[in-house]
Amino acid sequence: MGRRRVMMLIDMNSCVGCMACVVACIRENIARQNRGDVEIPEDAVYHARTKPEYAGMELGLTGDIPIFIQCQHCDNPPCEMVCPTGATYIDEDGVVALDHGKCVGCRACIAACPYGARTIYRRPLAGEPLSGGEGFQPGYPDKCTFCRHRKRGEGLWTPACIEACAFGARLFGYEEDVIESSEGRAVRLLEALGTEPKVLYILPVKGRR
């Protein structure tokens, strides 16, 4: 039996749009400790690793549905395929990760991602991420990592966005458990591309928005 892989489920029917997940993501991965003060870029919301966007037909949905976009942690990630140095790779938990030590900043991964889930921040930032670990680095492509720097030992960990959601709109766990919890109601974005995303969505029921 192979290693159990992780997956995330986002239920847009339970989401109230409070943005707690976005704020938690910014504090966990973008904010810097600098001379005793916390520095947060003015445009941090744009660079947050999960953020609401109106994803219409370009994501295979009907109409303009507000949905949280982030790295989909694909089983067949286009970003990995185009990376010339192997900086983008899939780790043992199924997380699509980025090795800044190998990244040359060519931005091929940004162009290749069909979900628009990667950004790059050009301005300098002093200090270190509050969480340490894999906070984003200016000048390099950035993406959601499922907060894998929080992992301790061999068990599951809790991403910051999951921890922050008071309404249970997000679920993170092992692939088979998340699929079972979705009760057959979840979809994958742009499924026809064959990327096999590991972020599932339960779309809003008509009339709920």
Per-residue pLDDT of the chain (209 residues; tens, 9 = 90+): 467 899 999 999 999 889 999 999 999 999 888 777 888 888 888 889 998 887 655 555 655 667 899 999 999 999 999 999 999 999 999 999 999 899 999 999 999 999 999 999 888 888 888 877 678 888 899 999 999 999 998 899 999 999 999 999 999 999 999 999 999 999 999 999 999 999 999 987 754 44
* CATH architecture under which domain 6-202 falls: 2-Layer Sandwich (3.30)
Dist CA 145 CA 97 (whole Å): 6
Domain ranges of the chain: 6-202
Dist CA 100 CA 8 (whole Å): 24
pTM attached to this predicted model: 0.90
Is residue 45 a contact partner of residue 199, using CB atoms and an 8 Å limit? no
Dist CA 59 CA 11 (whole Å): 17
Q: Which helix (H) or strand (E) holds 21?
A: helix 20-29
Cα separation of the two ends of the chain:
42
DSSP state of 45: H
